[in-house]
Amino acid sequence: MTAAPTPAAPARPASPVLPGDPGPDAGAIARLVAVALDEDLGAAPGRDVTTQSTVDRAARGGADVVAREAGAVAGLVVVPVVLDQVADRLGLPHADVVWHVADGAVVDAGAVLATVTGPTHVLLVAERTLLNLVSRASGVATHTHRWTRALAGTGAQVLDTRKTTPGLRALEKYAVRCGGGTNKRMGLYDVAMVKDNHVVAAGSVASAVRAVRERHPDVAVQVEVDRPEQADEALDAGADFLLLDNMPTDVLAATVARVRAREAATGHVDLEATGNLTLERAREVALTGVDFLSVGALTHSSPILDVALDLDPRSVVAPDAGELRARP
């Protein structure tokens, strides 16, 4: 009798970046990590008084980055950046990383996300900064993943907002993409969003839209409306995208129908439901026909995902103990 073939082990990803995604801006991540390390170590090069007192500088070791709870993973892209910056500060060789999953993976509790080997000083000094960033990003991705599951099959997508942690926008918006969500705009520079205060300042929706078109003809213009008749005004002004703010479901559905009825003349206008949205309402809101649900809580209220760095005591080798032993 022929034995059944042993299933092949899943291929390890060559890169931690979300497949098909450019990843977060590298410059932004490098700056973020440098600031985070300054917070933990003091001004560069800084110091870790515990590790540098108790661990031989020449010791080497290995450790696993482990998810302590189930969720969607994000932020693994920061791991080599943190390790490299720590190594450079300490004047030690860079650590090596083996990826077991990539950003965007949905994992169970106990999953090993990556294995790192290198100078033990580098691993321990980098530990908290590395985990803070991966845990934060994975929390955002996990929260976003819940919304994408709630919206599955409706045709609507969940959007983030600018309600991000200062300094972490590139990472948090990348984490939203890792959870299956969509980025609305990166900042005030890439999309015009006419809100109530802009209308007050400009005198009317039409005046505000016209002013943006004259000064920045290359950007999309979004207009926030909270009543159906305001949608007509925004469409008449030439808005590309409407934010339907804090509308009850029946009013939202009527406004969507009102806008869609004009699309033979206006072309497709993207519609976003925003304000007072919850996971419990998500599907009901999506089924009104909106294109997007905008959820600031993805980035301002997501709890972290618990991620740990487990140093393998069998792998730690002091300089007089020979070569680093292979782990079983």
Answer yes or no: are the C-beta atoms of 72 and 144 closer than 8 Å. yes
Catalytic residue among 68, 162, 163, 281: 163
20: left (phi over 0), alpha (psi -120 to 50) or beta: left
- Determine whether 195 is an active site residue: yes
Question: According to the model, what pLDDT value does residue 2 have?
Answer: 59
128 in active site: yes
> Which residues, at least 6 apart from 315, have a Cβ–Cβ distance to it below 8 Å?
60, 61, 62, 63, 117, 324, 325, 327
Instruction: From residue 13, give the alpha-carbon distance in Å to each of 105, 183, 317.
Output: 11, 25, 28
Choose, from 195, 213, 281, 283, the residue flagged as catalytic: 195
Q: Rounded to an integer, what distance in angstroms lies between the CA atom of residue 98 and that of residue 137?
A: 20
199-224 average pLDDT score: 93
Which tokens go with 211? 């002013």
CB 258 within 8 A of CB 231: yes
Known catalytic membership, residue 48: no
Is the distance from CB of 101 to CB of 111 less than 8 angstroms? yes
The one catalytic residue among 128, 260, 262, 325: 128
Residues in the chain: 328
> What pLDDT score does 276 carry?
87
Give the 3-state secondary structure of 42-93: CCCCCCCCCHHHHCCCCCEEEEEEEECCCEECCCCCHHHHHHHHHHHHHCCC
pLDDT in tens, 20-52: 999 999 999 999 999 999 999 998 899 999 999
Catalytic (active site) residue 108 = no
Q: Is the pTM of this model over 0.85?
A: yes
pLDDT band at 315 (very low <50, low <70, confident <90, very high): confident
